Chains A and B, each alone.
Chain A
Amino acid sequence: MKNLKIILSTFVLILSITACNSDKTKNTAADLAVFQCPMQCEGDKTYDKEGSCPVCKMDLKLLEASSKDMDTDEISEASIFNLTSKWHNEEDEEIQLTDLKGKTMVMVMIYTSCKAACPRLVADMRNIEAQIPDENIKNLEFVLISIDPETDNPERLKAFALENGMDDEQWTFLQGTESGVREFANVLSVKYKEISPIDFSHSNIISVFNSGGELIHQQEGLGVDNKETIEAILQLTQ
């Protein structure tokens, strides 16, 4: 009987550690962004999401960017910090995405043995980084996530970082699990497919998240103008 109890209680314990059970209380933190008609057609009326003014049809403009320092542990519904997947960085430390909280993040998914577009994507990331003033860099994290977690172990990621001159504080490389990577790609709307054991085909998307883990901006394509991405970053890291 006692045994059964133990079994049952352990059983409950196990249930509570399976992936489907990381039950977080629903969070009702209001969105931090406030939008208003640029003509103030409706006086001081504000909205909490993008749209157009019902009076003059002009696009609402953002009044205040999300505040830089998120207080408390509140995270919004749309935040990637709701993901509980586990990752390893290039220093072989185990982390969760929430560990990156508090900094603006620029993310891209690549793999190190890639010969086609990834060098360009990496160069795009370097270009973006080079155009951000030093005082903003400290609030920034550039994150490169491998879509080939089998090959790209921390050691390999570290070597890649060194080879590409991306080993400063602000660069992070992540190795996940196959399902963690698939899930994360879905959050970014990145598509990818294994073509051969060493080759992948994938979308070229650079994404910017605010310090609360909300997706703010995405640029798709290679060698596109980084201007908007950089503007988004500067706005978030002022």
Chain B
Amino acid sequence: MKTLKPIILSLALIMLSCGDSEKTEQHSDTAEIPVSREMIAELTSPPNVPTPVGRRKAKKLIVNMEILEEEGELTDGVKYVYWTFGGSVPGSFIRTRVGDEVEFTLSNHPDNKLPHNIDLHAVSGPGGGAESSFVAPGHEKTFSFKTLNPGLYVYHCATAPVGMHIANGMYGLILVEPEGGLPQVDKEYYIMQGDFYTKGKNGERGLQPFDMQKAVDENADYVVFNGSVGALTGDNAITAKVGETVRLYVGNGGPNLVSSFHVIGEIFDKVHVEGGDLINENVQTTLIPAGGAAIVEFKVDVPGTFILVDHSIFRAFNKGALGMLKVEGEEQKKIYSGEIREGIYLPEGPGIQNMPTTNEIVESEIPAKSFEEQMEFGKQIYMQTCFACHQAEGQGIPNAFPPLANSDYLNADVDRAIGVVVNGLSGEITVNGEKYNSVMTKQMISSDDVANVLTYVYNSWGNSKKVVTKKMVDDVKKK
């Protein structure tokens, strides 16, 4: 890592030197943003974040992420085998800007026992990269993606059983800053909540294995910030000075629980709701879904220790979802006085409220008629046998397979259509004005099936609503 520093520094210098001449162009289509030069991404472990992108241009960004399976301490005396991106829970923070072309290499350490992959919610592509990054121990996989949408996104492992990989700590955040970067603030930190499920009860000592049943029941033993109880308290607390503006990148890895993120004694001046563009102001508690994130900003006006919690409050005080922000500086009595008086108060007895209950009646289903049954069976056959070429909506594939939707060729002659299914068809035909020259082999399906599948086709996608019977099929077969 040390060796990277000079490289990053020199890259930063290069960026600065040419940064002055940049015009902030606004690209309406972020996919078209050109990239220039390569740079190696700075990755940080929580609670730190890499340097802001500022006004740099979009670049080819090299991200090298290593997966480590290693033992760590969940809380005093409780050991747990974490699976990690980059050796920390949550994994290394990745900072990009919109239009960057990220070349992502995922390396699975040879000592690891399991295959892993990564699904980045910032990726527009199948599985968020999960398919392209599925990697066995002792190997590495590289794929690249372009960041199209600004925002704060979760990444996580998506190898079966997914829940277990996430429950063991395989999640983190990737930030995509807008063109020109986010507004400057004084302090930025990286916090991510996760729930953990252990064989033993909360606090039971020794190496605790993961408990699948508890995870399925969503019965967490630990709910923590940054991977362990106390990762953000005492000496590990995050800090700021009175008058500074603090920005927290808050994520929730789950696997199960939703976080009601709240800082006791502070109001969020700004919340990027769910990590997106929408900014809500003056918020007390913001909801962060599992697999989601939020950016919260607030100015700290008075000194003291501010407690960060998941306001599902038993999690904070019994399961570990508690962190601290220590603020130093001058007292501000006008904003907060401290205690002024003490007195005696005799209350009246409270009333007990009953909760109303409801009982819903489930309506029984209507039995299918025979035509509908034909449609149902026909659809099954279609999806097994015809779908690959003619596609789900009968749209076909241009220049290769003719459409069955609104098809003049199909509707013109039902016997001919039956013949095509029964005997196959090759040579040039014209459908809806387009020429096709391909091969359809004869389909080895029963007369009943032919009748059902054609009935389904004729009664879907704007066709002529013919009903094909088994007899019609048999007649064509006899010819």
Residues of A within 8 A of B (CB): 57, 113, 115-117, 119-120, 123, 126-127, 163-165, 222-223
B391 to chain A, nearest CB (A): 9
Asked if B397 lies at the interface with its beta carbon under 8 angstroms from chain A, I say: yes
A116 and B439 within 8 A (CB) = no
A85 to B444, CA, bound (A): 33
Asked if B329 lies at the interface with its beta carbon under 8 angstroms from chain A, I say: no
User: B440 to chain A: which residues have CB within 8 Å?
Assistant: 119
A123 to B402, CA, bound (A): 13
Asked if B389 lies at the interface with its beta carbon under 8 angstroms from chain A, I say: yes
- B388, B400, B443: the one contacting A127 at CB < 8 Å is B400
B105 to chain A, nearest CB (A): 12
A123 and B401 within 8 A (CB) = yes
- In the complex formed, the residue of A with least CB distance to B383 is A116
A115 and B401 within 8 A (CB) = no
User: A127 to chain B: which residues have CB within 8 Å?
Assistant: 400
A115 and B38 within 8 A (CB) = no
Known: A123-B400, A123-B401. A164 touches B388 (CB 8 A): no
B443 and A123 within 8 A (CB) = no
B426 and A120 within 8 A (CB) = no
Asked if B384 lies at the interface with its beta carbon under 8 angstroms from chain A, I say: yes
User: B443 to chain A: which residues have CB within 8 Å?
Assistant: 115
Write the B93-133 contact mask toward A (1 if CB under 8 angstroms, else 0): 00000000000000000000000000000000000000000
Known: A115-B384, A116-B388. A223 touches B397 (CB 8 A): yes
A119 and B389 within 8 A (CB) = yes
- In the complex formed, the residue of A with least CB distance to B397 is A223
Known: A57-B38, A115-B443, A119-B441. A163 touches B424 (CB 8 A): yes
B439 and A164 within 8 A (CB) = yes
A57 to B443, CA, bound (A): 54
CB neighbors of A among B425-461 (8 A): 426, 438-441, 443-444
A155 to chain B, nearest CB (A): 17
A143 to chain B, nearest CB (A): 19
B12 to chain A, nearest CB (A): 17
User: Interface residues of B toward A: which range?
Assistant: 10 to 19
Write the B31-42 contact mask toward A (1 if CB under 8 angstroms, else 0): 000000010000
Closest 6 CB pairs of A and B: A115-B385, A120-B388, A117-B388, A57-B38, A164-B439, A163-B441
A123 and B389 within 8 A (CB) = yes
Q: List 15 A-B contacts (CB under 8 A).
A: A57-B38, A113-B444, A115-B384, A115-B385, A116-B385, A116-B388, A117-B388, A119-B388, A119-B389, A119-B441, A120-B389, A123-B401, A163-B424, A163-B441, A223-B400
Chain B binding surface, main DSSP class: mixed
A100 to chain B, nearest CB (A): 25
- In the complex formed, the residue of B with least CB distance to A130 is B437
User: A165 to chain B: which residues have CB within 8 Å?
Assistant: 426, 439
Known: A116-B384, A116-B385, A163-B424. A123 touches B438 (CB 8 A): yes
User: B385 to chain A: which residues have CB within 8 Å?
Assistant: 115-116
User: B38 to chain A: which residues have CB within 8 Å?
Assistant: 57
Write the B351-391 contact mask toward A (1 if CB under 8 angstroms, else 0): 00000000000000000000000000000000011001100
B427 to chain A, nearest CB (A): 10
Further contacts, 17 of them, CB under 8 A, given A57-B38, A163-B424, A164-B441: A115-B384, A115-B385, A115-B443, A115-B444, A116-B384, A116-B388, A117-B388, A119-B441, A120-B389, A123-B400, A123-B438, A126-B439, A163-B439, A165-B426, A222-B388, A223-B397, A223-B400
A102 to B38, CA, bound (A): 41
- In the complex formed, the residue of B with least CB distance to A221 is B126
A126 to B440, CA, bound (A): 13
- In the complex formed, the residue of A with least CB distance to B40 is A57
- In the complex formed, the residue of A with least CB distance to B387 is A116
A72 to B385, CA, bound (A): 48
User: A115 to chain B: which residues have CB within 8 Å?
Assistant: 384-385, 443-444
A69 to B443, CA, bound (A): 43
Residue among B388, B389, B424 with max Cβ neighbours from chain A (10 Å):
B388
User: B424 to chain A: which residues have CB within 8 Å?
Assistant: 163
A78 to B38, CA, bound (A): 32
- In the complex formed, the residue of B with least CB distance to A120 is B388
User: A123 to chain B: which residues have CB within 8 Å?
Assistant: 389, 400-401, 438-439
A164 to B440, CA, bound (A): 8
A56 to chain B, nearest CB (A): 9
A157 to chain B, nearest CB (A): 14
User: B389 to chain A: which residues have CB within 8 Å?
Assistant: 119-120, 123
A126 to B400, CA, bound (A): 10
- In the complex formed, the residue of B with least CB distance to A204 is B388
User: B438 to chain A: which residues have CB within 8 Å?
Assistant: 123, 126
User: B401 to chain A: which residues have CB within 8 Å?
Assistant: 123
A168 to chain B, nearest CB (A): 14
A41 to B444, CA, bound (A): 61
A37 to B439, CA, bound (A): 46
User: A164 to chain B: which residues have CB within 8 Å?
Assistant: 439, 441
A164 to B426, CA, bound (A): 9
A163 to B384, CA, bound (A): 21
B450 to chain A, nearest CB (A): 13
- In the complex formed, the residue of B with least CB distance to A222 is B388
A6 to B345, CA, bound (A): 112
A65 to B401, CA, bound (A): 35
User: A116 to chain B: which residues have CB within 8 Å?
Assistant: 384-385, 388
A48 to B440, CA, bound (A): 45
Residue among A115, A163, A164 with max Cβ neighbours from chain B (10 Å):
A115
- In the complex formed, the residue of A with least CB distance to B401 is A123
